[in-house]
Structure 1
Amino acid sequence: MSDEFSQEDFIDEEDMAEEQAQVVEEIEVNFWKTKAHGQTVGIKQAAQWQAASRQFSKTMEIRGIVKYKKEKENAQVIGLNQGFWDTEDPESPLNKKFGENADLNKRLVIKTFTDLKDGKGGKWTGSLELSLTESLLLTIGERDVMPVFILIIPRYKFNYKLIRAHTRKGARYMFPLISDDGNNIRFFEIEKKGASWGLDFRVEDARTEKEVALVDGKVIDIGGKWVVKIKDKELAGNRIFRQTLILFAASCKFLEDIEKNIKALYEAYKKKDYVFQPIGNEMSLFYNPRVRRT
């Protein structure tokens, strides 16, 4: 079933005002290895999550939590759309549609939601979606694996991209931070620390090269845990910047698999006997908002 990310379910005005007023300098992103931790939640509360947000589709599974430093309660939960990722189950949507080419069409879709508390919450707070189309396009052009992610944040009129940049070594991702009025844009680099054993990144202002944040963590047997530390107080109070780093941290566990899959997709495409057929859901990311659709 299609993931209804094109349908908006807004955070309440009161909650939005509170979120915009927050200054959060340290955030913990905890991603579990399997759905075992959240399976009971998924079964018992699936209807509640789906009722709270159209973004929580039937193939969405809770896979992690987000906590702000010094707060006891979970700030957000992390959802993974298994319908676009799971190829281990022979009956999964990807296996049914693509058969032996299922792995070539895996598309990471991560969404975050406010936690359900006393029947409240469950509101969508952001999405990160891998675009196979743009990733393949850039990989063909650069002759190197270049994942492209599209980020969508509620109550923010711009969709924007997180793109892997070409580097001689290591890994670097780029994203823009656009002001609400669209009159100011800052560019940021998320660069892997060269001497790090884990998946540790530094975040820099691309113009000044000033380090403004860190994303420190590693993938371990029980999943993955990342700590986001924002050094710039103005950015710590910017909900778009915060949510970008939360979504990026939640994706870190999958980056290696994504790069392997895109490389395999590129190699299959170059053999000329493979026809690239993106899932229709991804195509809605490319809709022209100025064209009326029926």
Structure 2
Amino acid sequence: MADGMAMAAAPANVKPAKARSKTKRRKVKVDFWATDLNTAEIGIMKRTQNEAASDQFTKDMELFGQTVIDGKREALIGYRQELWDGSEGFERRLVIRLFSETLGWRGTAEMMLGRSVQLSLAAGGRPVQAFTLNISRHNQLIQLERSAMRWPFQPERFSFFIQGKKTSRFYTIRRHMFGFASDYSIYDQKGRKIGVLDHQVINLGGAWMVRLNPEHYDRKLETVLELFCAILKFNRAGRNHVKAMTEQVFRGKVLPDLDHDEEDLYENPRRR
């Protein structure tokens, strides 16, 4: 009996297992400034210091936003102003770059006019934007494209995939059907909703909250979404430019002469 009582009492001395703590959702805000005056270019940092910090920070680079994670600024966002604001035709290209707080290069998104016009011609003139994303410490050039297959008045969709060491992951970004703001939902390859891009309409310069489900968090995915939010800042202007170029090519009013930097991104890596 004594042995039985001892065995029965033993579990009372065992500490209960701790409940598994929930992974905290990162508070990621991609915030765009309402004016050209910002602390990244005046006061704390000077433009000459910025240019020296990274060879990706070209002389025509204009900072226009930042990424704030859990209340702390973690990244700066810029675009090549001369290429976009000071060029025309096929020389006018949208090139967006993401930098760390110390101006180290983290990623680039480039509008591919050749690919965009190709897809738009096949879509009957409907503008279909295509981008190539190059992110730090990732060998793949990620292709992010707007879908041409949609009915009138349906929300726009974008898609891309990220190569991993053993497998690839496919994603779709779909704009919400209803609502005043430009909100988007993110879906994985099984059609499961894994996050939201919440448009902050009351922000004067524009902003999106990147809300990824913690179990689907991935640093490279987050970087792609940061760049995508920056692309959305130019979304309407980008569509209009692609539409205009597609129409001019269709009517034979322009000779499609691609920028050499864009041509490099089409190069065959296996050529001899």
TM-score normalised over the length of structure 2? 0.83
Name the counterpart of 1:98: none
CA 1:276–1:77: 2 relative to 1, 3 Å: same
Contact 1:38 1:62 in 2 (8 A): no
Give a deviation string over 1:47-98, Cα, whole Å, max 9, x none. 22222211111110111110112x3x31000011102111xxxxx3x1xxxx
Q: Deviations over 1:187-237 (max 9, x none)?
A: 11100000121110000113x21110100115668321110000142x32x
Code of the aligned partner of 2:257? Q
Q: Is 1:288 aligned with 2:271?
A: no
Q: 2:99 aligns with which of 96, 113, 129?
A: 113
Does residue 243 (structure 1) correspond to residue 226 (structure 2)? The answer is no
The residue number in structure 1 matching 2:195 is 213
1:130 to 86, 111, 121: 111
Q: Is the 8 A contact 1:107 1:130 kept in 2?
A: yes
After TM superposition, the structure 1 = structure 2 runs for residues 54-73 of structure 1, keeping only pairs within 5 Å, are 54-69=55-70, 71=71, 73=72
- Alignment correspondent of 1:259: 239
The equivalent residue for 1:199 is: 182
The residue aligned with 2:150 is 167
- Check whether the contact 2:97–2:108 (CA below 8 A) recurs between aligned residues: yes
CA distance in 1: counterparts of 2:24 and 2:133, whole angstroms: 21
C-alpha distance in structure 1 between counterparts of 2:44 and 2:170, whole Å: 41
Structure 2 unmatched ranges of 5 or more: 1-22
Distance 2:127 2:30 in 1: 26
Q: What is the alpha-carbon root mean square deviation over aligned residues?
A: 2.3
Q: CA deviation at 1:278?
A: 1.9
- What residue identity is the alignment partner of 1:106? R
CA contact 1:28–1:67 (8 Å) conserved in 2: yes
Contact 1:213 1:229 in 2 (8 A): yes
Distance 2:25 2:49 in 1: 28
Indicate which of 176, 179, 184 corresponds to 2:161. Answer: 176
Of stretches 124-133 and 276-285 in structure 1, the one that deviates more from structure 2 is: 276-285
In structure 2, the CA distance between the partners of 1:253 and 1:103, relative to structure 1 (3 Å rule), is farther
Q: What is the aligned residue count?
A: 246
Q: Does structure 1 retain, via aligned residues, the 8 Å contact 2:39–2:45? A: no
- Distance change (3 Å), C-alpha of 1:66 and 1:170: same
SS in 1 for 2:73: coil
User: Counterpart of 1:153?
Assistant: 135
Query: Distance in 1 between the 2:110 and 2:173 partners?
Result: 17
Superposition pairs for residues 17-28 of structure 1, below 5 Å?
25-28=26-29
Tell whether 2:258 aligns with 1:278: yes
Q: Residues of 2 paired with 1:267 and 1:125: CA distance?
A: 35
Structure 1 segments unaligned to the other structure (5+ residues): 1-21, 87-91, 95-101, 116-120
Q: How does 1:28-43 map to 2 (within 5 A)?
A: 28-37=29-38, 40-41=41-42
Q: Closer, same or farther in 2 for the Cα pair 1:44/1:25, shift >3 Å?
A: closer
Deviation of the 1:289 alpha carbon? 3.1
Larger radius of gyration: 2
Q: What secondary structure sits across from 2:257 in the alignment?
A: coil
From 140, 150, 173, the counterpart of 1:190: 173
Cα distance in structure 2, aligned partners of 1:280 and 1:124? 22
**1:222-266 Cα distance to aligned partner (Å, 9 max, x none):** 321110000142x32x21101011111111111111111111111
The Cα of 1:291 is off from its aligned counterpart by 4.4
Does the 8 A contact of 1:38 with 1:61 survive in 2?
A: no
2:212 maps to which residue? 230
CA contact 2:41–2:47 (8 Å) conserved in 1 = no
Give 1:17's aligned residue: none
Query: Does the 8 A contact of 2:90 with 2:258 survive in 1?
Result: no
